[in-house]
Structure 1
Amino acid sequence: MNFLEAYSWINIRFLLSGLWLTIQVAGITIILSVIIGILLGIVRYYEIPYLSKGIGFVIDTIRNLPLLLIIFFTYLSLPQIGIQFNIFWSAVVAMTIFESSMISEIIRGGFVSLPKGQTESGLASGLTKNQTLFYILLPQALKQTLPSIVSQLIALIKDTSLATIIALPELTHRAKIIYGQDTSFVIPMFAALAFLYFIICYSLSKFSRYLTNRISIL
């Protein structure tokens, strides 16, 4: 076990390149998942005939599947029907499908937890149904569900490591390459992975607390 050699500048730079790719995958997935998750949560909450139940069935199915299976499906199965992505976008699409399903259920739960009189009050004040949704219900639902959403996004960042199975050169994959060349680097590389993932996830959790405090003041 040689920490000094394991943490040579070449290896550190190699790991940081993987970290940057991890951040890119996570960042794009977070943006897409939150947008799609909110839209799906709204559709489920309003119980639109046929559509809401159909989407609900698909979401419940996805939520009960392993993310690894969805990654395999996106990368290996979709090309069989003419839909092909490179490794990077296969990971993003697979994780977006999974995470948006999880977030949609969180958002729907946020809407359900609101007092039923909120909608009636909005409509009685002259707002349309859509205005009531976007100006009254959605801000409150997001405020209530923010901690759960952030917890899900933190899990997403850690789950990017699963994309190593399709050889995405993200952080974990690059660490495996390094200790694959010298087995004495195994513990130093795991220590480096733990530190880097902790920094990202802890920063996101601190930012979420800041947002929660700011929102509670408003």
Structure 2
Amino acid sequence: MDFAGAYSWPNLSFILQGFGMTLLVAALSILFSFVLGTLLGILRYTRVPLLNRLLAVIIDLIRNLPLLLIIYFMYIVLPQLGLKLPPFWAAIAALTLFEGAMISEIVRGGLTSVDRGQIEAARSSGLGYVQTMRHIILPQALRRMAPPLVSQFISLLKDTSLAIIISLPEIMHNVQILQGHSPNYVIPALLLAALLYFAVNFTLSIIARRLEARKI
């Protein structure tokens, strides 16, 4: 093990650049998957029979596929259909689709947990359906969904490492490149990667626990 060589500034900078890419992909995927998941969750909550069944089949299909397969699909299959995505956007598209399906179930569960009597009370007071969802149901549901959402975002951050298969220059990809330079760099580089992942995920875990304890 060569800690001094592995942590020399060029190598350290290379690992940190990879972690920056990991955080960027995770941040964009969290944003897009939250929007997609919220939309799908609300649509399923509306309980329009045909739409609900169709979305249920699609969401269950995506949730039961390996994320690795979805990444391959975005990067290898889509170009054969005429849509070529660079590794960066292929990874984001795959994570958004997969995590969006997961989040949709969290959103649907959060909405369902709100007493439907409140909807009837709001509608009887003159509020429309959209106003009821926006001002009455969603605020309560979001408070209940916060802890599981944060936990899902933690999983998303860890899942970004799977993008190594399409050569996305995230942290594990860069660690693998350092391994090619010297086998003595492997353990120090992996330890640093583990520490960086742990620092971010542990922080998010603390936030999730506090949200759950406060029941905000």
SS of 1:127's equivalent in the other structure is: coil
Residue 107 of structure 1 is matched in structure 2 by 107
Alignment of 1:112-191 (within 5 A): 112-191=112-191
In 1, the alpha carbon distance for the partners of 2:162 and 2:196 equals 16
Residue 33 of structure 2 is matched in structure 1 by 33
Alignment of 1:202-217 (within 5 A): 202-208=202-208, 216=216
In 1, the alpha carbon distance for the partners of 2:139 and 2:34 equals 14
Q: How far has the Cα of 1:110 moved from its partner?
A: 0.9
Residue 49 of structure 1 is matched in structure 2 by 49
**Structure 2 residues without counterparts, runs of 5 or longer:** none
Q: How far has the Cα of 1:214 moved from its partner?
A: 8.1
Q: How far has the Cα of 1:91 moved from its partner?
A: 0.3
- Residues 40, 104 of structure 1: 8 Å contact kept: yes
Residue 20 of structure 1 is matched in structure 2 by 20
In 1, the alpha carbon distance for the partners of 2:63 and 2:31 equals 19
Give per-residue Cα distances to partners, 1:139-159, cap 9 Å, x unaligned. Answer: 111111111011010000010
Question: TM-score, normalising length from structure 2?
Answer: 0.95
Deviates more, 1:174-183 or 1:196-205: 196-205
Give per-residue Cα distances to partners, 1:26-60, cap 9 Å, x unaligned. Answer: 11101101111101000001112322211111000
Q: How far has the Cα of 1:213 moved from its partner?
A: 7.5
Q: How far has the Cα of 1:211 moved from its partner?
A: 6.1
In 2, the alpha carbon distance for the partners of 1:160 and 1:8 equals 25
SS of 1:50's equivalent in the other structure is: helix
In 2, the alpha carbon distance for the partners of 1:150 and 1:21 equals 20
Question: TM-score, normalising length from structure 1?
Answer: 0.94
- Residues 37, 103 of structure 2: 8 Å contact kept: yes
In 2, the alpha carbon distance for the partners of 1:134 and 1:4 equals 55
**Structure 1 residues without counterparts, runs of 5 or longer:** none
- Residues 147, 211 of structure 2: 8 Å contact kept: no
How many matched pairs?
216
User: What percentage of aligned pairs have identical amino acids?
Assistant: 48
